[in-house]
Amino acid sequence: MTTTAAPRREYIDGATAIVRGAIDAGCTFFAGYPITPASGILMAMMRELPKVGGVAMQGEDEIASIGMCIGAVMGGAKALTATSGPGISLYSENIGLAVMGEVPLVIVDVQRLGPATGGATTVAQGDVQFVRWGTAGGYPMIVLAPSNTPESYELTVKAFELSERFRCPVILLTDKELAMTLSAVDVDAYPDVEPVARTIKDAGLPYSWVPADAVEPMRAYGAGDAFRFTGSTHDEGGYITKLPAKVGALNEHLVAKIEDHRDEIEMVDVDADGPADTVVVSYGVTAGAARAAVRELRAKGTAVTGVVVKSLWPIPETSLSAAFDGAARIVVPELNVGLYRREIERIAADRDVVGVNRIDGKLITVAEIVEAAR
Amino acid sequence: MSTITITPVATFRTDDPYPFCPGCGHGPVLDRVNEAMVKLDLDPAKVVIVSDIGCSGLSDQYFVTSAFHGLHGRSVTYATGIKLANPDLEVVVIMGDGGTGIGGTHLLSAARRNIGVTVIVMNNLNFGMTGGQHSTTTPEGGVTSTTPLGNLEHPLDICATVGVNGAAYVYRGSSFDHDLADRIAEGMRRPGFALLDIWDLCTAYYVRSNKFTRAGMEDSMRSWGLEPGLLYDRQTAEYATAYRRIHADIAGKPTPRPRPIDITHEAALDEPMALVVAGSAGGKIRSAAKIVALGGIRAGLWAAQRDDYPVTVKAGHSVTELWLAPHEMPMAAVVAPDVMAVISADGYAKAGPYLAAMGPDALVLTIPDFADLDTKAQVRVIDPKAAPKRIPKTSLGLVYLSAAIALTEPYPIDALREAAAAGSFAEINLEAVDTGALLAGA
Is residue B322 very low, low, confident or very high in pLDDT (cuts 50, 70, 90)? very high
| Closest CB to B306 among A147, A181, A232 | A181
Q: Do B85 and A71 touch (CB under 8 A)?
A: yes
Whether residues B72 and B122 share a domain: the answer is yes
What are phi and psi for residue B186, nearest 5 degrees? -60, -45
Mean pLDDT for the stretch of residues B386-406: 96
CA–CA dist B117, B241 (Å, integer): 12
Residue B264 lies in a domain: no
Residue B2 lies in a domain: no
Q: Do A71 and B305 touch (CB under 8 A)?
A: no
Residue B301 has pLDDT above 50, yes or no: yes
Residue B353 lies in a domain: yes
| Closest CB to A71 among B68, B303, B309 | B68
Interface test with B, best of A147, A177, A181, A182 (most B CBs within 10 A): A182
Mean pLDDT for the stretch of residues A222-239: 97
| Closest CB to B80 among A71, A177, A363 | A71
Is residue A4 very low, low, confident or very high in pLDDT (cuts 50, 70, 90)? low
Q: Does B361 touch chain A (CB under 8 A)?
A: no
* SS3 (DSSP) at A61: coil
Which residue range(s) make up the domain with B215? Answer: 26-246
Contacts A229 to B, Cβ<8 Å: 66-70
Q: What sign for the dihedral angle of Cα A117, A118, A121, A127?
A: negative
Residue B1 lies in a domain: no
Residue B389 lies in a domain: yes
What are phi and psi for residue B27, nearest 5 degrees? -60, -50
CATH (domain of B354): 3.40.920.10
pLDDT tens for A39-87 read 999 999 999 999 999 999 999 999 999 999 999 999 999 999 999 999 9
Task: Say yes or no: ipTM exceeds 0.90.
Answer: yes
CA–CA dist A55, B297 (Å, integer): 35
Which pLDDT score, from 0 to 100, does residue A149 have?
95
Q: Do A67 and B300 touch (CB under 8 A)?
A: no
Whether residues B332 and B203 share a domain: the answer is no
Q: Do A222 and B251 touch (CB under 8 A)?
A: no
Which pLDDT score, from 0 to 100, does residue B312 have?
80
Q: Does B309 touch chain A (CB under 8 A)?
A: yes
Q: Do A11 and B255 touch (CB under 8 A)?
A: no
HSE, side-chain direction, 13 A CA sphere, residue A284? 30
Q: Do A230 and B69 touch (CB under 8 A)?
A: yes
**Every domain range in chain A assigned CATH 3.40.50.970:** 9-189
Whether residues B63 and B164 share a domain: the answer is yes
Whether residues B401 and B323 share a domain: the answer is yes
Residue of chain B whose Cα is closest to the Cα of A12: B304
B309 near B246, Cβ under 8 Å? no
Residue A1 has pLDDT above 50, yes or no: no
Q: Does B66 touch chain A (CB under 8 A)?
A: yes
User: Which is nearest to B403 in space by CA: B351, B350, B440, B359?
Assistant: B440
Which pLDDT score, from 0 to 100, does residue A340 have?
98
Q: Do A97 and B310 touch (CB under 8 A)?
A: no
CATH (domain of B101): 3.40.50.970
Whether residues B193 and B280 share a domain: the answer is no
Is residue A5 very low, low, confident or very high in pLDDT (cuts 50, 70, 90)? low
pLDDT tens for B242-257 read 999 999 999 999 998 8
Q: Do B260 and A8 touch (CB under 8 A)?
A: yes
Which pLDDT score, from 0 to 100, does residue A7 have?
77
B65 near A53, Cβ under 8 Å? no
| Closest CB to B86 among A68, A76, A180 | A76
Whole-prediction pTM value? 0.96
Residue B208 lies in a domain: yes
In the listed set B211, B246, B281, which residue is the last one of a domain according to the structure?
Answer: B246
Whether residues B232 and B279 share a domain: the answer is no
* SS3 (DSSP) at B76: helix
User: Which is nearest to A86 in space by CA: A58, A60, A120, A56?
Assistant: A120
Which pLDDT score, from 0 to 100, does residue B3 have?
66
Mean pLDDT for the stretch of residues B234-242: 94
pLDDT tens for B9-63 read 799 999 999 999 999 999 999 999 999 999 999 999 999 999 999 999 999 999 9
Whether residues B300 and B240 share a domain: the answer is no
* SS3 (DSSP) at A109: strand
| Closest CB to A50 among B247, B290, B328 | B247
Whether residues B356 and B231 share a domain: the answer is no
pLDDT tens for B151-189 read 999 999 999 999 999 999 999 999 999 999 999 999 999
Q: Which of A346-360, B31-45, B303-317 has the lowest mean pLDDT?
A: B303-317
What is the b/e burial string over B183-215, where b = at least 16 CB atoms within 10 angstroms of the residue's CB? bbbbbbebbbbbbbbbbbbbbbbbbebbebeee
pLDDT tens for B178-217 read 999 999 999 999 999 999 999 999 999 999 999 999 999 9
Whether residues B399 and B308 share a domain: the answer is yes
B49 near A210, Cβ under 8 Å? no
Residue of chain B whose Cα is closest to the Cα of A234: B69
Which pLDDT score, from 0 to 100, does residue B330 have?
77
Contacts B250 to A, Cβ<8 Å: 50-51
Contacts of B287 (CB under 8 A, 6+ apart): B397, B398
Residue A2 has pLDDT above 60, yes or no: no
Overall CATH class of domain A9-189: alpha beta
Helical (H) or strand (E) element with A297? helix A286-299
Whether residues B349 and B432 share a domain: the answer is yes
Overall CATH class of domain A268-373: alpha beta
Which pLDDT score, from 0 to 100, does residue A3 have?
45
| Closest CB to A51 among B68, B74, B253 | B253
Residue B19 lies in a domain: no
Q: How many domains does chain B have?
A: 2
Q: How far is CA A8 from CA A189, A190, A191, B263, B299, in A?
A: 10, 12, 14, 8, 12
Residue of chain A whose Cα is closest to the Cα of B300: A7
Which pLDDT score, from 0 to 100, does residue B220 have?
86
Count interface pairs A-B at CB distance under 8 A.
235
Is residue B341 very low, low, confident or very high in pLDDT (cuts 50, 70, 90)? very high
Residues 244-273 of B with CB under 8 A from A: 247, 250-255, 257-258, 260-261, 263
Q: Does B145 touch chain A (CB under 8 A)?
A: no
Residue of chain A whose Cα is closest to the Cα of B286: A182
Helical (H) or strand (E) element with A357? strand A352-357
What is the b/e burial string over A55-93, where b = at least 16 CB atoms within 10 angstroms of the residue's CB? bbbbbbebbbbbbbbbbbbbbbbbbbbbbbbbbbbbbbb
Whether residues B378 and B414 share a domain: the answer is yes
In order, the DSSP letters of B152-170 are -SPPP-HHHHHHTTT-SEE
Contacts A67 to B, Cβ<8 Å: 70-71, 74, 77-78, 80-81, 106
Residue B394 lies in a domain: yes
Whether residues B227 and B288 share a domain: the answer is no
User: Which is nearest to B318 in space by CA: B358, B359, B289?
Assistant: B289
